[in-house]
Amino acid sequence: MLSGLQDQLAPLKSWLFPRRVYLQLEDQAFTAMVLDGERVEWLERVPLPEGLCVNGQPTAVEALGDLVGDLLIERGFPGARVKAVLPRAATVWRVIAWPDAHWPDQPEVVVRQQQDQLDLPWSLQDADLRLEPLIGAPPRSLLVAVQRGLLEAWIEVFSQAGVALDGMEPLPICLWRAAEPQLGEGVQVLLQLEQEQEQSWLLALDQGEPLGQWPLPALTELEALIPVLKTFQRRFHPRAALVSGEEQAVDAVLPELEGALGCSVVWLEPRGEAPALRGLVAGDRLR
C-alpha cells in the first residue's frame, strides 16, 4: 500500500519540487543529464529529426518544444528547471587583445567597433556579447558572441516545452571549464580534442587560458588527422592533451594520438559525462 501511495505522489512531488535538468543542444541531438548529488541519475542522448535545428538555429520551435516537454515527462521530470548549452554553431569566440594595452572603459563598444578585424560570420550589432577576462599581460578577454534572434528562438522552445529556463551557456565556456580540473601543476600548454560525428575540434589552452580553437578531421579519418595534429605539436609543444569521444574509439587510436602530439593523452570522460555538461554543472556551482 505504501509503495502504491508513493507512486501516486511521485508526479505531485516532481511538480512541487522540480529537478534541475542539464541539456546540451546540438543540430542532431539533445544530451540530457540529471544529477543526484555527484551521482549521474539520468544521462541520455536523444537524436533529433533532421531539419529541426540547423546551424544552431531552431527551425521548428513548436515541434522542438513539444519534443523536449514530452521527453522530460516520459523520463519522470515534468516541470523541470533547465539549464542548457547552446549548439556550437550558435556562438563564435575570439581572444581580444585590448588596444593600447589597457582595459577600456566601455569594452563592448570597443569590441563592436572591431567587427572587420574579428572576421565574424555575422554582425555584432545583432549579437549578445560575453567578455571573460584572461590573466596575464597585455590585458586580454575571451569574447563569446551569440545572435540575439537565435537566443530568443531557444527561449521560445523552452517556453513551448513548459519548463523553466534558468539560463543558457556558450559551448566554448563550458568546454573551458571542463578542462580546468585536468590541468596538473606545471602544465602550461594543454590541447583538448573534442570528437563529433563528422569532424573534431582542437582547443588550445595556455595555463588554463584559451589560445584558439580549430576544426580538424574526425577521429575516424586518422590518416588526415595525424599530420594536422603534428603541425599543432610543433606550434604549441603541448605538455598534455585531453580527448573526448566514445571510449573504445579513443582507446583504439591513443598511441597514434600520443605520437602525433608528443605528450600523454587522457580521455576526458572518466565518468561517462559529456564534457560540455560537466562544464555547465561546474559553472552552476560557482554561483
Contact 166, 81 (CB under 8 A): yes
Output the DSSP codes for the chain: -HHHHHHHHHHHHHHHSPPEEEEEE-SSEEEEEEEETTEEEEEEEEEPPTTSEETTEES-HHHHHHHHHHHHHHTT-TT-EEEEEPPGGGEEEEEEEPGGGS--SSHHHHHHTTHHHHT-SS-GGGEEEEEEEESSSS-EEEEEEEEHHHHHHHHHHHHHHT-EEEEEE-HHHHHHHHHGGG--TT--EEEEEEE-SS-EEEEEEETTEEEEEEEE--TT-HHHHHHHHHHHHHHH--SEEEE-S-HHHHHHHHHHHHHHHTSEEEES-TTS--HHHHHHHHHHHH-
Q: What is the pLDDT of residue 5?
A: 45
Better pLDDT: 32 or 187? 32
Q: What is the pLDDT of residue 33?
A: 94
- Name which of 5-9, 43-47, 118-122 the model is least confident about: 5-9
Q: How confident is the model at residue 84 (pLDDT cuts 50, 70, 90)?
A: very high
Separation of first and last alpha carbons in the chain: 42
Better pLDDT: 6 or 57? 57
Q: What is the pLDDT of residue 177?
A: 82
pLDDT at 2 > cutoff 50: no
Q: What is the pLDDT of residue 261?
A: 93
Q: How confident is the model at residue 227 (pLDDT cuts 50, 70, 90)?
A: very high
- Name which of 37-41, 53-57, 176-180 the model is least confident about: 176-180
Q: What is the pLDDT of residue 228?
A: 94
pLDDT at 75 > cutoff 80: yes
Rounded to whole angstroms, the Cα distance separating 284 from 83 reads 9
Q: How confident is the model at residue 46 (pLDDT cuts 50, 70, 90)?
A: very high
pLDDT at 187 > cutoff 70: no
Mean pLDDT of 128-150: 85
Better pLDDT: 119 or 237? 237
- Name which of 51-60, 91-100, 108-117, 184-193 the model is least confident about: 184-193
